[in-house]
Amino acid sequence: MRESLGAVPADAEVVVVGGGVVGLSVAFHLAEAGVRRVVVVERDLVGRGSSAKPVGGVRATFSDPGNILLGQRSLEAFERFGPGIGLRQVGYLFLCRSEEEVAEVERSTRLQRRLGGSGRMVSAAEAVGLNPYLNGDALLAASFSPRDGHAEPALVVATYRAMAEELGVVVCEGTEVVGIDLAGADIEAVQTDRGTVRTQRVVCAAGAWSARIGDMAGVPLPVEPVRRQIGITPPEAKPPTVPFTLDLSTTLYFHNCGDGLLLGISNPEQEPGFGREYSAEWRPAFDKAAQVVAPSLVGRELASGWAGLYENTPDHNALIGVSRQVHGFAYATGFSGHGFLQAPAVGEVVRDLYLGREPFMDPSPFHADRFAAAAPVRERHII
């Protein structure tokens, strides 16, 4: 790849570190607002990090008002992109199997509706009507939000990249950020393995690898990489179209992926680390959960599998803000498994913070300094 790489610019107005869906959305929104000499530095090819997930859920179904607003705003953007990003608004179905889950999901659904969301509670029978794979006897209720669904991250990455480059953004692939030069509290340059870029402003969008970039600038970004795995079943003739369905009790989830199904479950025992090797070790936990909620999925053959990294923060909410210690250092990271669905709105928010404008929502609860203050409130609707 190196031979075909263009030169790294010697200076930039701003360097965006990371060419995933978040970095490219940030770069596009900055350029669209008139910021010139935006340079994205990506050590691999763009979209090969966590944004390489084959299909990503898009939703505004959260318990935290900030996440709901970011999700809704992003849904509007995904709807504007339309079929070109593989958007399928099949809804999200959160399954409740205990009274506590019902109470919590009812509370979140009320909050989402107050903020303009599409969700409503449905009975077990309605849930089975929406998703014939489900065993209604295992369910007490569910929430269904028809505006949610899924889309293809690679297409969104390609779209943001094309729109950004059209506006003059320079994307440097195969280029690793290895240091950030500071003079006191000011940024002077970004060091890459292919040369120095003089700049006073940096946006860290390095996903699971963000803590290292924060360390280079002396800004603590508590992001921990955790491997997560999915499997995709072979194509079937005329598979039913189902919502993005997830079981709150076990984190089992599944939805259509082409003519197959994408299956997943989190592994609470997974140690943090950067390893992304795929293995079938998630399957027994999936099958155990499926035995109860969706028995016909037990033991399903898989056509392929994929492992990627969640970029977890201590409260499973993103880090979005501008450092109060290092001038010009902004960050959009730590999405803890929901960065694809928030990327469009996050690009807007970072642009506004950068330009000193008021964003469409208050991003201050996402500031990285929150961990130094009172106990942060954990997002509940995560898997």
Ligand X SMILES: Cc1cc2nc3c(=O)[nH]c(=O)nc-3n(C[C@H](O)[C@H](O)[C@H](O)COP(=O)(O)OP(=O)(O)OC[C@H]3O[C@@H](n4cnc5c(N)ncnc54)[C@H](O)[C@@H]3O)c2cc1C
Under rule CB under 6 A, residue 346 binds ligand X: no
User: For ligand X, which residue of 205, 294, 322, 382 counts as binding (CB under 6 A)?
Assistant: 205
C-alpha to C-alpha distance for 67 and 362, rounded to whole angstroms: 11
Could you tell me the two tokens for 298?
């037990």
Q: Name the segment binding ligand X (CB under 6 A); options: 41-49, 118-126, 362-370, 373-381.
A: 41-49
Under rule CB under 6 A, residue 206 binds ligand X: yes
Under rule CB under 6 A, residue 197 binds ligand X: no
Under rule CB under 6 A, residue 338 binds ligand X: yes
Under rule CB under 6 A, residue 247 binds ligand X: no
Q: Name the segment binding ligand X (CB under 6 A); options: 60-68, 102-110, 286-294, 307-315.
A: 307-315
Under rule CB under 6 A, residue 27 binds ligand X: no
Instruction: Spell 58-96 as b/e; 16+ CB within 10 A means b.
Output: bbbbbbbebbbbbbbbbbebbeebeeebbbbbbbbbbbb
Q: Name the segment binding ligand X (CB under 6 A); options: 85-93, 96-104, 183-191, 200-208.
A: 200-208
Could you tell me the two tokens for 59?
């939703």
User: For ligand X, which residue of 78, 209, 329, 331 counts as binding (CB under 6 A)?
Assistant: 209
All residues at 6 or more sequence positions from 375 whose CB lies less than 8 Å from its CB, including other chains: none
Please work out the total of residues on this chain that contact ligand X, with binding judged by CB under 6 A: 38
Can you point out the beta strands (E) in the chain? 14-17, 38-41, 56-58, 92-96, 120-123, 141-145, 149-151, 170-172, 177-183, 186-192, 195-198, 202-204, 224-232, 244-247, 253-257, 260-264, 304-312, 319-322, 329-333
Could you tell me the two tokens for 282?
């998630």
Under rule CB under 6 A, residue 176 binds ligand X: yes
Q: Name the segment binding ligand X (CB under 6 A); options: 11-19, 278-286, 355-363, 372-380.
A: 11-19
Residues making contact with ligand X (CB under 6 A): 17-23, 41-44, 48-51, 53, 56-57, 176-177, 205-209, 228, 230, 308-311, 333, 335, 337-341
